[in-house]
Amino acid sequence: MAQKPSTPKGTRDFGPQVMSKREFIVDTLKSVFRKYGYQPLETPSMEFLSVLAGKYGEEGDQLIFKIINSGDYLSKVNGIDFADPELFKKLLPKICKKALRYDLTVPFARYAAMNHNELNLPFKRYQIQPVWRADRPQKGRYREFYQCDCDVIGSDALINDAELIAIYDEAFTALGFPAIRLLFNNRKILAGIAEIVGSIELLAPICMAIDKLDKIGEERVKEELAVRGIIDSAQEAIFRIITFSGTNQEKLAFLADEFAESEIGLSGVEEMKEVLSLLQYFNLSITEVIVDISLARGLEYYTGSIYEVKAVGVDYGSLGGGGRYDDLTGIFGVNGMSGVGISFGADRIFDLMEMLDLFPEQSKASITAILMNFGGVGFVASLKFLKQLRAEGISAEIYPEHTKMRKQFKFADRRNATYSISIGSDEAAAGTVKLKNMETGEQQELPIDEAIELLKSS
């Protein structure tokens, strides 16, 4: 019985048109990462569930895809109360030891911890791999999607924090974006705010709440703060600070005043100033760096600089983000490896580049030459010509069947070929080829050598 095939929801096939553009994004990012000294790393798709569990909050744990143990996965399970309505939760860790990675950061921390004795520190790595989340699929949100991360671990020098902003600038420039906005803040500033409105213990709840400001608005953020035990006057103080408007310098001067009593807040201001000052040596091309006191980022492990990047002129949300973390490897027993990293959201970047028509012509799936198949001596002459083209590095193929010319030209047209090439018995005898420019329709007959030169230059 034939099956009607389909793919699981939230997953996608990437056909040639899409793949060529995705490869343009990935290749661009890779070449920038490499130029800045970042080195490639890949980690396994599956990690032990114990490595991933508890790293992404309770909600995150539920979104991790788990792999059932091979063979008789029930053989070592005993003492189960099959009437227990929570059985599925209790059974899970017994029948699933492995899971699919949820992001690239925890596997990187696991790798760095496992190899910290051998790593040549500071270690700069990039990693471009899919991750999986059992999220409800919706527009722009998938269950399998690519993350493109670069991180440097083993150095707390702020030159790293500045350089990552330069990488965003260079990468988005190379991708063809006309302008980006980099929102910049520091967790120590948020810690300072927590300290002066009550206690540094409030840092996590404050970050969690104001991270949602864009989505749910001020009133509901205040409700969340109230739920977390933050009183009205503290809420007002928080909003007075995070909504302060002015230039970057005015904001930092304002914060320095506010943080007269907060050492950690002041050190956040100093770090921000130093990073902004170092940026002068990177001559950013398209990036406006904006100090955004309300930027919090959701993840708990950030401890210093935090970033978020957006396109300018479109209302599109974040294209990437990142930050500094002082102790990510601590969960794996290796302390004192401070790191800082950023992520590019390849799927969101792809969608926006499509929307803004930013993909360059050469990133569209195409081929230089498609040779028509006339059979007989024309076929033989075409195969010889094909060999010469490929030896010159020119992408080319021959239509494999000797069939109707109309069908072959239609194929070449749909295939997005630059030229179709016809070598029939006449051309074979004359040592020439007929080229048809598939865009303009212009045709010409040229000696073989000249035809090769023309194709090389196109």
The interface with its own copies within residues 349-408 (CB under 8 A) comprises 365, 367, 370, 380, 383-384, 386-387, 390, 393-401
Q: Does 456 bind its own copies (CB under 8 A)?
A: no
Q: Is residue 110 part of the contact set for its own copies (CB under 8 A)?
A: yes
Q: Is 76 in the site for its own copies (CB under 8 A)?
A: no
Single residue of 25, 29, 51, 197 touching its own copies by CB under 8 A: 51
Of 41-49, 264-272, 352-360, 442-450, the window that binds its own copies (rule: CB under 8 A) is 41-49
Find the shortest distance in angstroms from Cβ 115 to its own copies.
7
Of 91 and 237, which has the nearer Cβ to its own copies?
91
Q: Quick check: 336 binds its own copies (CB under 8 A)?
A: no
* Secondary structure E strands in 273-374: 287-291, 305-311, 318-325, 339-345, 367-371
Judged by CB under 8 A, the number of residues near its own copies is: 104
- Whichever of 220 and 384 has its CB closer to its own copies, that residue is 384
Using alpha carbons, select from 276, 271, 280 the residue that is nearest to residue 302: 271
Task: Determine, following the binding rule CB under 8 A, whether residue 91 of this chain makes contact with its own copies.
Answer: yes
Tell me how far, at minimum, the Cβ of 215 lies from its own copies, in Å. Answer: 24
Q: Which of 104, 148, 150, 152 binds its own copies (CB under 8 A)?
A: 152
Single out the residue of 260, 333, 404, 457 in contact with its own copies (rule: CB under 8 A). 333
CA distance 450 to 16: 31
Q: How far is the CB of 103 from its own copies (least distance, A)?
A: 15
Candidates 73-81, 178-186, 295-303, 447-455; binding stretch for its own copies (CB under 8 A): 73-81
Please give the angle made by the CA atoms of 91, 54 and 336, to the nearest 5 degrees.
145
> Which of residues 144 and 326 has its CB atom nearest to its own copies in the complex?
144
- Which residue pairs from 45-48 have beta carbons closer than 8 angstroms and sit at least 24 positions apart in sequence? 45/100, 45/101, 45/129, 45/130, 46/98, 46/99, 46/100, 46/101, 47/98, 47/99, 47/100, 47/101, 47/106, 47/107, 47/110, 48/97, 48/98, 48/99
β partners of residue 45: none
Cα separation values, 10 from 79, 134, 434, Å: 37, 9, 47
Q: Is the dihedral of CA 373, 374, 376, 382 positive or negative?
A: negative
E strands, 88-229, where? 98-100, 123-132, 144-153, 180-186
Give the nearer residue to its own copies in terms of CB position, either 13 or 219: 13
Choose between 205 and 330: whose C-beta lies nearer to its own copies: 330
| Positions in 260-289 near its own copies (CB under 8 A) | 278, 281-283
| Tokens linked to 217 | 């608005």
Residues 8-37, interacting with its own copies (CB under 8 A): 8, 11-16, 19-20, 22-23, 34-37
Residue 104 Ramachandran class (φ > 0 left, ψ -120 to 50 alpha, else beta): alpha
Place of tokens 């929307």: 355
Complex with its own copies: residue 182 or 371, whichever CB lies closer: 371
The binder of its own copies chosen from 208, 226, 331, 377 (CB under 8 A)? 331
Q: Which two tokens stand for residue 238?
A: 């928080």
